[in-house]
Amino acid sequence: MAATTARTLDLLSLLQSHRHWTARELVDRLGVSERTLRRDVERLRELGYAIESTRGVAGGYRLAAGTGLPPLLLTDDEGVAIAVGLRSQAAAGLRGAEHTTLSALAKIEQVLPSPLRRRIAALQAIAAPMRSAAPGGEGNAPVVDSDLLGQLALCCRDAERVRMRYTDAAGTASTRSIEPHRLVPLGRRWYLLAWDRDRDDWRTFRLDRIGDVLPTRVRFEPRPLSDEDALERVRRSVRRLDRPVRATVHVDMPSAAFRERLGWWARDAVASPDGVGTVWPVEDETVAGVAAALLFVPEGVDCRVDGPPELAVFLAAQAERFAAAAGSAAAAR
């Protein structure tokens, strides 16, 4: 019985990790006969998992949304709470665990029944989103549809071609046929790195400019591209298109301690040439965004900024404002 239960759970894990498996792939992965596989599928169906099967050469199994939430050791209320939390975190662009968030979101979105989806949509409609405080600020960040994030996360995971409408920076709309590769959070936005089939090249798409997404159910063979290469492609594209303000912050703090303190935001920070301090490159679309990053330098730690002249002017003006505010507060006491 223990072996049967373990094998059934292994089957469930495989079905959750990919949209579609052929019967032969599952038989080979689990090391069982086709008859045993069919019995294990029936056990999962009895537990409430909606598993669709297809016949033919390319036939197989896929995990679909059912009429109720499968027994994940969660109540409906807990499932709704988790889904709302994952959607909010993904849409807010919280950093550090973004890929884990999308993976979890894709799994739970795959099996959510319609009544629970409506409850989640209602909760999000009446709840004000909380933007995270981060270098560069989040106040002007464009809103990203969490349903769109979940849908594209599934298509990336399952290597499924997509047709969509995209509006570029000039306001020109076009229909694209793409092979989605990776969702990348950068700065205050989400980007999709995909192979554009019409242009026969990699392209980076801002999620807030994507609309009318239509998954085609046509699978493709993913092109070899590491996570590091994918991130660098998106960075180069964003730098070329958005032309952000760039500055270098020299912090009197060891680089290891500084990166540990700021986490994801200090991922590009390196040790200064003397090996004592930290060199932290910062970029944003505005001088105000770059200046906001200085607020995250730990209190009591000195820093110096190298950047464009307009940044120096902005910092000087803000210094005068804060000095005046401090004088007013002292006089009020």
Q: How many CB atoms lie within 10 A of CB 217?
A: 10
Our CA angle for 195, 199, 203, nearest 5°, is 40
| Alpha carbon distances (Å) from 96 to 93, 205, 206, 207, 285 | 10, 21, 20, 19, 22
SS3 153: helix
| Closest by CA position to 144, among listed 135, 153, 136 | 153
Tokens 């499924």 found at: 160
Question: Which of 152-161, 190-199, 301-310, 322-331 comes out lowest in average pLDDT?
Answer: 322-331
How many angstroms separate the most distant Cα atoms in the chain? 84
| pLDDT interval class at 178 (50, 70, 90) | very high
Give tens-digit pLDDT for 57-114: 777 888 877 656 566 545 666 677 777 677 666 655 544 455 667 677 777 777 777 7
Q: How far apart are CA 111 and CA 118, in angstroms?
A: 14
Cβ atoms 252, 303 nearer than 8 A: yes
Q: What values do phi and psi take at 158, rounded to 5?
A: -95, 5
Q: What is the tens place of the pLDDT at every residue in 311-325?
A: 899 999 988 888 888
Indicate the residue type of 80. V
For the chain, list the domains and their CATH numbers: 2-64 (1.10.10.10), 157-243 (2.30.30), 245-332 (3.30.70)
Do 51 and 80 meet the contact criterion of CB atoms below 8 Å apart?
no
